[in-house]
A = this chain, B = another copy of it.
Amino acid sequence: MEYETPLFFRVMSYASEADRDVIDMVSGNPDWEPPAALRSGLREYADREPSAFQYPPSEGLRELREEIAARRGVDADQVVVTNGAGEANYLAMARALERDRGEEVVLTDPVYPYYPGKTTMLGGTQTFVAVDDEGRLEPSDVRAAASEETAAIVVNTPNNPTGAVYDGETMRELVAIAEECDAILVSDEVYDHFDLSGRFESALSIESDHRIVTNAFSKSMAITGFRVGYAIFPSDLVVDAKSRHMLVNVAGSRPAQYAVLRALRETEPDYYERNRDLLRGRIETFTGALDAAGAEYTTPRGSFYVMARFDGYPGTLENVYRLIDEAGVAGMPGDAFGESRSEWFRFALVTPRVETAAERLSTRFA
């Protein structure tokens, strides 16, 4: 399995050299506007005094940590502001493996490919638990896979790439399994603002010192390039996580933190609701076309992604290239996310051209 980014670049580069117009449904970059307060926060920051351009506290601007803590119902001391969810997951997984309670990391299949990549880098081993065709994760399967060798169970809800949203019962079971095995549940909730089911439940709602929650403003504020995320640790795990954060990055970037703080304070709920509505419309358009094309597909309950399978046209890298040439639609090959989805394509609905893409696919396969 390759990491998503290089494969992503290979697909994007093929698409850009294609002899026709291609719609990018590869990346997970929102195409909509960031909150207005984010732009004004950045403008305001640009005029500040030199001291405002120097190191923020290593764990993040105090007011930003306090805003996050208040929203998430935790103590600000438990919050580490990170360089995006990427660093948050790295710190969380490193912390779980450092506890010396085993080297195994339990992951789902399909999986967001950075998790197995980070596991290897940190000296751990991967055990995969398959989810069903709807993306549902059975806690009993996780319990069967986990053992005293398990350092961490890493889940992503709402899920990339399946679009599944784990319900409260599943989250409670996952925390319980982590406690039984003296492991850590790492719950990556970066798509929490794109729960379309109303059934999302954060691992934070379950009191435990065996769970770490990671998140970022990358998707919710449409700023994947700003790199502002956070991790919420149990009190007994946070000190060492802060040390690692300091030794790796010293601190996150302050202009980005400053702008996010402004946006977090000033953005009304309808900003987030509008983006969910946009996504709902795109899902309807796109899955309608997949119906017309006779494809099998997942209807996302959260996140940005639709997985689809076309009869006699498996989602290999070769067919990803072929689909670019034949239909002018670029997706990701399913095996980027694990063995179980090797016949599927993943399409990201973060382009204003979803309707045209849908028409092209239904024309190609109808």
Contacts from A to B (Cβ < 8 Å): 3, 5, 27, 29-34, 39-40, 42-43, 45-47, 50-56, 58, 83-84, 86-87, 90, 114, 117-118, 121, 222-228, 243-244, 246-256, 259
CB distance from A230 to the nearest CB of B (A): 14
CB distance from A95 to the nearest CB of B (A): 12
- Once bound together, how far apart are the Cα atoms of A87 and B252, in whole Å? 11
Residue pair A253, B227 in contact (C-beta under 8 Å): yes
Among B46, B53, B84, B247, contact of A3 (Cβ-Cβ < 8 Å):
B247
Residue pair A224, B54 in contact (C-beta under 8 Å): yes
Residue pair A246, B5 in contact (C-beta under 8 Å): yes
- Once bound together, how far apart are the Cα atoms of A33 and B52, in whole Å? 11
- Once bound together, how far apart are the Cα atoms of A50 and B36, in whole Å? 11
- Once bound together, how far apart are the Cα atoms of A225 and B117, in whole Å? 29
Q: Which residue of B lies closest to A226 (CB)?
A: B253
Number of copies: 2
Residue pair A255, B256 in contact (C-beta under 8 Å): yes
CB distance from A217 to the nearest CB of B (A): 11
Across-interface contacts of A56 in B (CB, < 8 A): 225
- Once bound together, how far apart are the Cα atoms of A344 and B247, in whole Å? 25
Across-interface contacts of A84 in B (CB, < 8 A): 249-251
Given A33-B50, A90-B249, 17 other A-B residues pairs in contact with their CB atoms under 8 A:
A27-B55, A39-B46, A50-B222, A53-B223, A54-B224, A54-B225, A55-B225, A83-B83, A83-B227, A83-B249, A84-B251, A90-B248, A118-B247, A121-B243, A121-B248, A227-B252, A227-B253
Residue pair B3, A29 in contact (C-beta under 8 Å): no
